[in-house]
Amino acid sequence: MLPNDRSKINMFFISIIFLTIINPSIQSGQPSLKLTFVPDETYFTNGHHVDILCELLNPNEHTESPQLWHVDLKTGKHTPISRFLVNSPTNEAPDIFKRNSNKRIEFLKKNHIRIKNLLLEDSSRYACNCPDCEQQLEEQNKLLQIMKLVEPIWYIEPGWPMQENAKTTIRCIANDFYPYVNYKIIQNHHEINQLGKSVTPTTDLFPQKFSWEATVMPTADWHNQTLRCTVTQGNTEQHATKVLDVLFTPRFLKCEEKQYVNSTKENATIECSYSGNPAPTLTWFRQIDEKPIKPETGITIETKDEHHGKYKSIVIFDREKLISMPSTTTLTTTTIKSSNGKSDLINKPKAIAGDNYYQQLLNDGFIVKLTYNNEEKGFHKITIVSDINEVRSTKLDNSSIKTIQNLSTSIILLSFLTVLYMIQYH
Protein backbone atom coordinates (compact mmCIF):
# COMPACT_ATOMS: atom_id res chain seq x y z
CA MET A 1 0.00 0.00 0.00
CA LEU A 2 1.36 3.42 -0.99
CA PRO A 3 1.89 6.00 1.76
CA ASN A 4 -0.57 8.34 0.05
CA ASP A 5 -3.31 5.63 0.17
CA ARG A 6 -2.64 4.95 3.82
CA SER A 7 -3.01 8.64 4.60
CA LYS A 8 -6.41 8.79 2.83
CA ILE A 9 -7.68 5.80 4.83
CA ASN A 10 -6.56 7.39 8.09
CA MET A 11 -8.35 10.62 7.20
CA PHE A 12 -11.51 8.63 6.42
CA PHE A 13 -11.56 6.99 9.87
CA ILE A 14 -10.82 10.31 11.58
CA SER A 15 -13.80 11.84 9.80
CA ILE A 16 -16.07 9.01 10.92
CA ILE A 17 -14.94 9.41 14.54
CA PHE A 18 -15.40 13.21 14.36
CA LEU A 19 -18.96 12.91 13.01
CA THR A 20 -19.79 10.32 15.68
CA ILE A 21 -18.64 12.68 18.41
CA ILE A 22 -20.36 15.81 17.18
CA ASN A 23 -23.58 14.16 15.98
CA PRO A 24 -25.24 14.06 19.46
CA SER A 25 -24.56 17.75 19.90
CA ILE A 26 -26.11 18.45 16.52
CA GLN A 27 -29.12 16.32 17.41
CA SER A 28 -29.41 17.86 20.84
CA GLY A 29 -29.93 21.25 19.20
CA GLN A 30 -33.17 20.11 17.55
CA PRO A 31 -36.48 21.09 19.20
CA SER A 32 -38.11 18.20 21.09
CA LEU A 33 -40.82 17.59 23.67
CA LYS A 34 -40.31 16.17 27.15
CA LEU A 35 -43.02 14.85 29.48
CA THR A 36 -41.82 14.30 33.03
CA PHE A 37 -43.20 12.73 36.21
CA VAL A 38 -41.45 13.82 39.40
CA PRO A 39 -40.62 11.48 41.02
CA ASP A 40 -40.00 9.46 37.86
CA GLU A 41 -41.73 6.22 38.80
CA THR A 42 -43.66 3.61 36.82
CA TYR A 43 -46.12 2.91 39.63
CA PHE A 44 -47.20 5.25 42.42
CA THR A 45 -48.50 4.45 45.90
CA ASN A 46 -51.72 5.79 47.43
CA GLY A 47 -51.15 8.97 49.42
CA HIS A 48 -47.97 10.00 47.63
CA HIS A 49 -47.68 12.99 45.28
CA VAL A 50 -46.45 13.66 41.72
CA ASP A 51 -45.50 16.68 39.60
CA ILE A 52 -46.43 16.46 35.92
CA LEU A 53 -44.51 18.74 33.56
CA CYS A 54 -44.61 19.24 29.77
CA GLU A 55 -41.57 21.02 28.28
CA LEU A 56 -40.25 22.09 24.90
CA LEU A 57 -36.49 21.58 24.65
CA ASN A 58 -34.29 23.66 22.33
CA PRO A 59 -37.03 26.06 21.11
CA ASN A 60 -36.36 28.33 18.13
CA GLU A 61 -38.17 31.04 16.15
CA HIS A 62 -40.35 28.41 14.45
CA THR A 63 -41.66 26.79 17.66
CA GLU A 64 -44.57 27.71 19.90
CA SER A 65 -45.56 26.87 23.47
CA PRO A 66 -46.20 23.16 24.18
CA GLN A 67 -49.44 21.82 25.65
CA LEU A 68 -50.04 19.35 28.50
CA TRP A 69 -53.12 17.13 28.06
CA HIS A 70 -55.14 14.85 30.27
CA VAL A 71 -56.26 11.71 28.36
CA ASP A 72 -59.28 9.77 29.63
CA LEU A 73 -58.48 6.03 29.89
CA LYS A 74 -62.02 5.00 28.95
CA THR A 75 -62.85 7.35 26.08
CA GLY A 76 -59.42 8.57 24.99
CA LYS A 77 -60.70 12.15 25.19
CA HIS A 78 -57.93 14.77 25.30
CA THR A 79 -58.49 17.72 27.67
CA PRO A 80 -55.94 20.58 27.65
CA ILE A 81 -54.74 21.37 31.14
CA SER A 82 -55.03 25.00 32.15
CA ARG A 83 -55.40 27.09 35.30
CA PHE A 84 -59.12 27.41 34.56
CA LEU A 85 -59.54 23.59 34.31
CA VAL A 86 -57.84 23.04 37.67
CA ASN A 87 -59.48 25.89 39.58
CA SER A 88 -62.91 26.20 37.92
CA PRO A 89 -63.73 22.96 36.06
CA THR A 90 -66.89 22.82 33.92
CA ASN A 91 -69.37 19.95 33.75
CA GLU A 92 -67.50 18.60 30.72
CA ALA A 93 -64.20 18.41 32.60
CA PRO A 94 -62.71 15.02 33.59
CA ASP A 95 -63.99 13.70 36.94
CA ILE A 96 -60.68 14.09 38.78
CA PHE A 97 -60.77 17.86 38.17
CA LYS A 98 -64.45 18.18 39.09
CA ARG A 99 -63.68 16.47 42.42
CA ASN A 100 -60.83 18.87 43.19
CA SER A 101 -62.68 20.85 45.88
CA ASN A 102 -59.98 20.01 48.44
CA LYS A 103 -57.31 21.35 46.05
CA ARG A 104 -55.37 18.10 45.80
CA ILE A 105 -54.50 19.16 42.25
CA GLU A 106 -52.48 22.38 42.02
CA PHE A 107 -51.71 24.46 38.93
CA LEU A 108 -48.09 25.53 39.51
CA LYS A 109 -47.49 27.17 36.13
CA LYS A 110 -48.35 26.61 32.50
CA ASN A 111 -47.96 22.89 31.63
CA HIS A 112 -46.98 22.07 35.21
CA ILE A 113 -49.37 20.57 37.79
CA ARG A 114 -49.00 18.76 41.09
CA ILE A 115 -51.31 16.02 42.44
CA LYS A 116 -51.14 15.40 46.20
CA ASN A 117 -52.45 12.45 48.21
CA LEU A 118 -52.74 10.26 45.12
CA LEU A 119 -55.82 8.05 44.75
CA LEU A 120 -56.59 5.17 42.42
CA GLU A 121 -59.01 7.49 40.56
CA ASP A 122 -56.08 9.73 39.61
CA SER A 123 -54.77 7.04 37.25
CA SER A 124 -54.77 8.59 33.79
CA ARG A 125 -52.74 9.03 30.65
CA TYR A 126 -50.98 12.35 30.02
CA ALA A 127 -49.71 13.73 26.73
CA CYS A 128 -47.35 16.52 25.76
CA ASN A 129 -47.40 17.99 22.24
CA CYS A 130 -47.01 21.24 20.35
CA PRO A 131 -50.09 21.68 18.14
CA ASP A 132 -49.08 25.15 16.89
CA CYS A 133 -45.44 24.40 16.12
CA GLU A 134 -44.48 24.81 12.45
CA GLN A 135 -42.27 21.72 12.71
CA GLN A 136 -44.15 18.58 13.66
CA LEU A 137 -42.71 17.24 16.93
CA GLU A 138 -43.21 13.74 18.24
CA GLU A 139 -45.92 13.65 20.92
CA GLN A 140 -44.87 12.29 24.33
CA ASN A 141 -47.21 10.05 26.38
CA LYS A 142 -46.98 8.66 29.90
CA LEU A 143 -49.34 6.58 31.99
CA LEU A 144 -49.91 7.63 35.59
CA GLN A 145 -50.75 4.44 37.51
CA ILE A 146 -51.68 4.54 41.20
CA MET A 147 -51.60 1.08 42.73
CA LYS A 148 -54.44 -0.59 44.56
CA LEU A 149 -53.25 -3.89 45.99
CA VAL A 150 -55.50 -6.90 46.67
CA GLU A 151 -54.52 -10.37 47.84
CA PRO A 152 -55.74 -13.16 45.56
CA ILE A 153 -57.94 -15.95 46.97
CA TRP A 154 -58.03 -19.71 46.28
CA TYR A 155 -61.35 -21.51 45.70
CA ILE A 156 -61.54 -25.32 45.66
CA GLU A 157 -64.66 -27.06 44.34
CA PRO A 158 -66.70 -29.16 44.91
CA GLY A 159 -65.45 -29.22 48.50
CA TRP A 160 -62.64 -29.40 51.01
CA PRO A 161 -60.66 -31.53 51.75
CA MET A 162 -59.97 -32.76 48.22
CA GLN A 163 -60.60 -36.41 47.33
CA GLU A 164 -58.06 -38.64 45.62
CA ASN A 165 -58.85 -39.19 41.91
CA ALA A 166 -61.98 -37.01 42.13
CA LYS A 167 -62.57 -34.30 39.53
CA THR A 168 -61.74 -31.00 41.24
CA THR A 169 -61.72 -27.37 40.13
CA ILE A 170 -59.02 -25.11 41.56
CA ARG A 171 -59.45 -21.38 41.00
CA CYS A 172 -57.40 -18.30 41.94
CA ILE A 173 -59.20 -14.95 41.83
CA ALA A 174 -58.16 -11.35 42.48
CA ASN A 175 -60.76 -8.60 42.15
CA ASP A 176 -60.66 -4.79 42.10
CA PHE A 177 -56.92 -4.15 42.02
CA TYR A 178 -54.66 -2.03 39.81
CA PRO A 179 -52.57 -2.35 37.73
CA TYR A 180 -52.16 -5.93 36.49
CA VAL A 181 -48.64 -6.92 35.34
CA ASN A 182 -48.43 -10.74 35.27
CA TYR A 183 -49.20 -13.91 37.23
CA LYS A 184 -47.64 -17.23 38.20
CA ILE A 185 -49.20 -20.44 39.56
CA ILE A 186 -46.80 -22.71 41.46
CA GLN A 187 -47.46 -26.22 42.76
CA ASN A 188 -44.73 -27.72 44.90
CA HIS A 189 -42.06 -25.42 43.35
CA HIS A 190 -43.16 -26.15 39.75
CA GLU A 191 -44.92 -23.61 37.54
CA ILE A 192 -48.29 -24.88 36.26
CA ASN A 193 -49.64 -21.81 34.44
CA GLN A 194 -50.22 -23.89 31.30
CA LEU A 195 -52.44 -26.42 33.10
CA GLY A 196 -55.28 -23.93 33.42
CA LYS A 197 -56.97 -21.01 31.70
CA SER A 198 -56.51 -17.41 32.79
CA VAL A 199 -58.58 -14.26 32.30
CA THR A 200 -56.36 -11.18 32.50
CA PRO A 201 -57.04 -7.45 31.99
CA THR A 202 -56.58 -6.28 28.39
CA THR A 203 -56.82 -2.51 28.94
CA ASP A 204 -55.49 0.13 31.33
CA LEU A 205 -58.95 0.71 32.82
CA PHE A 206 -59.33 0.35 36.59
CA PRO A 207 -60.15 -1.45 38.78
CA GLN A 208 -59.04 -4.76 37.23
CA LYS A 209 -59.88 -8.44 37.73
CA PHE A 210 -57.86 -11.64 37.33
CA SER A 211 -58.78 -15.32 37.42
CA TRP A 212 -57.03 -18.63 36.74
CA GLU A 213 -58.85 -21.96 36.72
CA ALA A 214 -57.92 -25.60 36.17
CA THR A 215 -59.72 -28.94 36.42
CA VAL A 216 -57.52 -31.56 38.07
CA MET A 217 -57.58 -35.11 39.44
CA PRO A 218 -55.68 -34.97 42.76
CA THR A 219 -53.47 -37.93 43.65
CA ALA A 220 -52.14 -39.05 47.01
CA ASP A 221 -48.82 -37.31 46.25
CA TRP A 222 -50.62 -33.96 46.27
CA HIS A 223 -51.34 -34.20 49.99
CA ASN A 224 -49.55 -31.46 51.96
CA GLN A 225 -48.14 -29.92 48.78
CA THR A 226 -48.28 -26.13 48.51
CA LEU A 227 -50.32 -24.32 45.88
CA ARG A 228 -49.26 -20.72 45.36
CA CYS A 229 -50.92 -18.02 43.25
CA THR A 230 -48.89 -14.86 42.64
CA VAL A 231 -50.42 -11.83 40.92
CA THR A 232 -48.01 -8.97 40.25
CA GLN A 233 -49.81 -5.67 40.75
CA GLY A 234 -47.67 -2.71 39.82
CA ASN A 235 -44.28 -3.24 41.44
CA THR A 236 -45.66 -5.56 44.15
CA GLU A 237 -46.33 -9.29 44.21
CA GLN A 238 -49.50 -10.40 45.99
CA HIS A 239 -49.70 -14.06 47.04
CA ALA A 240 -52.30 -16.65 47.99
CA THR A 241 -50.94 -19.90 49.45
CA LYS A 242 -52.93 -23.09 50.03
CA VAL A 243 -51.60 -26.27 51.65
CA LEU A 244 -53.49 -29.11 49.98
CA ASP A 245 -55.42 -31.61 52.06
CA VAL A 246 -56.17 -34.75 50.00
CA LEU A 247 -58.09 -37.68 51.43
CA PHE A 248 -56.78 -41.03 50.18
CA THR A 249 -57.08 -44.68 51.21
CA PRO A 250 -54.33 -46.31 53.32
CA ARG A 251 -51.70 -48.40 51.51
CA PHE A 252 -48.28 -49.94 52.05
CA LEU A 253 -45.44 -48.12 50.33
CA LYS A 254 -42.58 -50.47 51.18
CA CYS A 255 -42.73 -53.53 53.39
CA GLU A 256 -40.30 -56.27 52.36
CA GLU A 257 -41.48 -59.83 52.96
CA LYS A 258 -37.91 -60.81 53.84
CA GLN A 259 -36.00 -58.52 56.17
CA TYR A 260 -32.46 -58.98 57.40
CA VAL A 261 -31.60 -58.87 61.11
CA ASN A 262 -28.13 -59.44 62.50
CA SER A 263 -28.99 -61.05 65.83
CA THR A 264 -25.50 -60.27 67.18
CA LYS A 265 -25.92 -56.55 66.64
CA GLU A 266 -27.33 -54.12 69.16
CA ASN A 267 -30.47 -52.18 68.22
CA ALA A 268 -31.22 -54.08 65.00
CA THR A 269 -34.38 -52.90 63.22
CA ILE A 270 -37.14 -53.95 60.87
CA GLU A 271 -39.48 -51.46 59.20
CA CYS A 272 -42.46 -50.83 56.97
CA SER A 273 -43.52 -47.65 55.17
CA TYR A 274 -47.14 -46.78 54.52
CA SER A 275 -49.40 -43.83 53.73
CA GLY A 276 -52.96 -42.62 54.09
CA ASN A 277 -55.02 -39.56 54.96
CA PRO A 278 -56.47 -39.59 57.56
CA ALA A 279 -53.51 -41.41 59.06
CA PRO A 280 -54.07 -45.18 59.37
CA THR A 281 -52.74 -47.41 62.15
CA LEU A 282 -50.00 -49.97 61.57
CA THR A 283 -49.81 -52.83 64.08
CA TRP A 284 -47.09 -55.47 64.42
CA PHE A 285 -47.96 -59.08 65.38
CA ARG A 286 -46.05 -62.26 66.09
CA GLN A 287 -46.68 -64.54 63.16
CA ILE A 288 -46.98 -67.76 65.16
CA ASP A 289 -49.86 -66.70 67.39
CA GLU A 290 -50.87 -63.31 65.89
CA LYS A 291 -50.42 -61.60 69.23
CA PRO A 292 -49.69 -57.89 68.88
CA ILE A 293 -46.18 -56.73 69.67
CA LYS A 294 -46.31 -53.73 71.93
CA PRO A 295 -43.57 -51.42 73.10
CA GLU A 296 -42.14 -53.17 76.14
CA THR A 297 -38.83 -53.98 77.77
CA GLY A 298 -36.37 -54.60 74.97
CA ILE A 299 -38.67 -53.50 72.11
CA THR A 300 -39.28 -49.97 70.86
CA ILE A 301 -41.69 -49.10 68.07
CA GLU A 302 -41.18 -45.70 66.44
CA THR A 303 -43.53 -44.06 63.95
CA LYS A 304 -41.97 -41.34 61.81
CA ASP A 305 -44.11 -38.79 60.00
CA GLU A 306 -42.39 -38.34 56.64
CA HIS A 307 -44.89 -35.69 55.52
CA HIS A 308 -47.37 -35.72 52.63
CA GLY A 309 -49.35 -38.45 54.42
CA LYS A 310 -46.41 -40.87 54.45
CA TYR A 311 -45.21 -42.73 57.55
CA LYS A 312 -42.56 -45.24 58.56
CA SER A 313 -42.93 -47.71 61.41
CA ILE A 314 -39.66 -49.01 62.85
CA VAL A 315 -39.26 -51.86 65.35
CA ILE A 316 -36.02 -51.55 67.33
CA PHE A 317 -34.70 -54.60 69.19
CA ASP A 318 -32.59 -54.14 72.33
CA ARG A 319 -30.55 -57.33 72.02
CA GLU A 320 -29.03 -57.18 75.50
CA LYS A 321 -32.42 -57.04 77.20
CA LEU A 322 -34.17 -59.50 74.90
CA ILE A 323 -31.60 -62.30 75.15
CA SER A 324 -31.82 -62.14 78.95
CA MET A 325 -35.51 -63.05 78.75
CA PRO A 326 -36.48 -66.75 78.64
CA SER A 327 -38.32 -68.16 75.64
CA THR A 328 -42.06 -68.69 76.03
CA THR A 329 -44.63 -71.25 74.99
CA THR A 330 -47.85 -70.90 73.11
CA LEU A 331 -51.09 -72.87 73.33
CA THR A 332 -52.08 -75.12 70.43
CA THR A 333 -55.53 -76.65 69.96
CA THR A 334 -55.68 -80.48 69.60
CA THR A 335 -58.71 -82.66 68.90
CA ILE A 336 -58.93 -86.05 70.77
CA LYS A 337 -61.62 -88.69 71.12
CA SER A 338 -62.81 -89.63 74.57
CA SER A 339 -63.91 -93.15 75.67
CA ASN A 340 -67.56 -92.32 74.95
CA GLY A 341 -66.72 -91.58 71.29
CA LYS A 342 -67.09 -87.80 71.54
CA SER A 343 -64.46 -85.37 70.22
CA ASP A 344 -62.95 -82.89 72.66
CA LEU A 345 -60.80 -79.79 72.00
CA ILE A 346 -57.80 -79.52 74.29
CA ASN A 347 -55.30 -76.65 74.46
CA LYS A 348 -51.76 -77.92 74.96
CA PRO A 349 -48.66 -75.84 75.51
CA LYS A 350 -46.15 -76.00 72.69
CA ALA A 351 -42.55 -74.94 73.01
CA ILE A 352 -41.37 -72.38 70.45
CA ALA A 353 -37.97 -72.72 68.81
CA GLY A 354 -35.32 -70.37 70.13
CA ASP A 355 -32.76 -70.27 72.90
CA ASN A 356 -34.14 -67.01 74.25
CA TYR A 357 -37.01 -64.62 73.70
CA TYR A 358 -35.07 -62.56 71.13
CA GLN A 359 -34.23 -65.57 68.97
CA GLN A 360 -37.76 -66.82 69.37
CA LEU A 361 -39.15 -63.50 68.09
CA LEU A 362 -36.92 -63.61 65.02
CA ASN A 363 -37.70 -67.24 64.28
CA ASP A 364 -41.45 -66.66 64.55
CA GLY A 365 -41.55 -63.89 61.97
CA PHE A 366 -44.03 -61.03 61.99
CA ILE A 367 -47.31 -59.86 60.57
CA VAL A 368 -48.14 -56.21 59.92
CA LYS A 369 -51.69 -54.98 59.50
CA LEU A 370 -52.82 -51.60 58.26
CA THR A 371 -56.18 -50.47 59.66
CA TYR A 372 -58.41 -47.43 59.73
CA ASN A 373 -61.49 -47.24 61.95
CA ASN A 374 -60.88 -50.92 62.86
CA GLU A 375 -61.18 -51.88 59.18
CA GLU A 376 -58.23 -53.77 57.73
CA LYS A 377 -56.67 -52.00 54.73
CA GLY A 378 -53.53 -54.09 54.18
CA PHE A 379 -51.65 -57.16 55.39
CA HIS A 380 -48.05 -58.42 55.10
CA LYS A 381 -46.14 -61.40 56.45
CA ILE A 382 -42.48 -60.79 57.23
CA THR A 383 -39.81 -63.49 57.51
CA ILE A 384 -36.57 -62.62 59.28
CA VAL A 385 -33.39 -63.86 57.57
CA SER A 386 -29.86 -63.92 58.91
CA ASP A 387 -28.19 -63.80 55.49
CA ILE A 388 -28.38 -60.38 53.85
CA ASN A 389 -27.94 -61.97 50.42
CA GLU A 390 -31.41 -63.51 50.73
CA VAL A 391 -32.88 -60.02 50.99
CA ARG A 392 -30.87 -58.79 48.01
CA SER A 393 -31.90 -61.72 45.83
CA THR A 394 -35.55 -61.13 46.69
CA LYS A 395 -35.28 -57.48 45.72
CA LEU A 396 -33.61 -58.47 42.45
CA ASP A 397 -36.36 -60.96 41.67
CA ASN A 398 -39.15 -58.50 42.35
CA SER A 399 -37.67 -55.57 40.47
CA SER A 400 -36.05 -57.33 37.52
CA ILE A 401 -38.30 -60.22 36.55
CA LYS A 402 -40.32 -58.15 34.05
CA THR A 403 -37.17 -56.65 32.56
CA ILE A 404 -35.64 -60.11 32.09
CA GLN A 405 -38.85 -61.41 30.54
CA ASN A 406 -39.04 -58.49 28.12
CA LEU A 407 -35.38 -58.91 27.18
CA SER A 408 -35.86 -62.65 26.52
CA THR A 409 -38.86 -61.95 24.33
CA SER A 410 -36.91 -59.37 22.35
CA ILE A 411 -34.00 -61.76 21.79
CA ILE A 412 -36.34 -64.53 20.60
CA LEU A 413 -38.12 -62.15 18.22
CA LEU A 414 -34.81 -60.82 16.84
CA SER A 415 -33.53 -64.36 16.27
CA PHE A 416 -36.75 -65.29 14.46
CA LEU A 417 -36.51 -62.26 12.16
CA THR A 418 -32.85 -63.01 11.41
CA VAL A 419 -33.65 -66.60 10.42
CA LEU A 420 -36.59 -65.42 8.31
CA TYR A 421 -34.36 -62.90 6.50
CA MET A 422 -31.71 -65.55 5.78
CA ILE A 423 -34.30 -67.97 4.37
CA GLN A 424 -35.80 -65.28 2.17
CA TYR A 425 -32.60 -63.88 0.65
CA HIS A 426 -30.15 -66.82 0.61
Superfamily grouping for domain 32-147: Immunoglobulins (2.60.40.10)
pLDDT digits (tens, 9 = 90+) for 156-200: 999 999 999 999 999 999 999 999 999 999 999 999 999 999 999
Question: Which residues of the chain form CATH 2.60.40.10?
Answer: 32-147, 153-244, 247-321+366-394
pTM: 0.73
What's the mean pLDDT when you consider all of the chain? 86
pLDDT digits (tens, 9 = 90+) for 63-74: 899 999 999 999
pLDDT digits (tens, 9 = 90+) for 321-376: 999 888 765 544 444 555 555 555 554 444 444 578 899 889 999 999 999 999 99
Q: Which CATH architecture has domain 153-244?
A: Sandwich (2.60)
CA distances from 33 to 54, 63, 139, 294, 357 (A): 7, 11, 7, 86, 96
CATH number of 247-321+366-394: 2.60.40.10
